[in-house]
Amino acid sequence: MAENTTINDLVLRHKKVAFMAITKNDTPTIYRMVGFTSLSNSRNPTEHTRKYVDEENERTDITAINTSIGFGFDLFSGDPVHEHVAEIFDDELTGAKAVVDIYVVDFTKPAATGENVTTFECAHRNFTVVPSSDGDDANVYTYSGDFRSNGKREKGTATVTGDAKTITYMKN
């Protein structure tokens, strides 16, 4: 006899939303990353494998995970995130000038309960922008590349503004 199982709702892609901190006039604001056609995570583990002489099989341990996010976006004029990433590409910025703060808000995980919840679980990490290509679409101007981890991931909460275009972040 088959077991009865409960199937929960699928988690839709638009429920895990990325935001980027942009500083203007020494004031940081964390903006929603709109117009991205791709934001896919890759986990790139560093493995330590060895074979002990008294055992039949090898053992493997993961010693680090180097996360990267493959991205692509259609350039929108006036968007602070697009302008910042485009500047890194166009001016061929390196070092600390190519590092961005990305926050991923999980709208499926409220950090508070209540009728009008605006605070959700959030992860933050610094990433280095690694440019790949730009301008490869005949219709609109596009950019693509990778955000590669540049520091430790931290957990916190994000309070979303009424229009969901910006957040404030609180580290746990």
**Residue 142: CB partners within 8 Å, gap ≥ 6?**
37, 72, 73, 74, 75, 134, 135, 136
**Residue 147: CB partners within 8 Å, gap ≥ 6?**
68, 69, 71, 100, 102, 127, 128, 129, 130
> What's the whole-number mean pLDDT along residues 101-128?
90
| 6 in any annotated domain | no
| 79 in any annotated domain | yes
What total number of domains does the chain contain? 1
| 65 in any annotated domain | yes
pLDDT tier, 114 (very low <50, low <70, confident <90, very high otherwise)? low
Q: Copy the structure tokens of residue 41.
A: 């995570």
Containing structural domain, residue 155: 13-45+60-171
In angstroms, the CA 29 to CA 55 distance is 55
| 8 in any annotated domain | no
> What's the whole-number mean pLDDT along residues 67-96?
97
| 51 in any annotated domain | no
DSSP letter for each residue of 79-116: -HHHHHHHHHHHTT--GGGGEEEEEEEEEEEESS-STT
Q: What is the CATH number of the domain that holds 105?
A: 2.30.110
Q: 28-32, 41-45, 53-57, 111-115: which has the minimum mean pLDDT?
A: 111-115
Sequence letter at residue 128: T
The mean of the pLDDT values for the chain is 93
| 83 in any annotated domain | yes
Given a contact cutoff of 8 angstroms between Cβ atoms, the answer to whether 72 and 142 are in contact is yes
Given a contact cutoff of 8 angstroms between Cβ atoms, the answer to whether 105 and 155 are in contact is no
Whose tokens are 């583990």? That residue is 45
| 52 in any annotated domain | no
Given a contact cutoff of 8 angstroms between Cβ atoms, the answer to whether 129 and 87 are in contact is no
| 40 in any annotated domain | yes
In angstroms, the CA 58 to CA 116 distance is 52
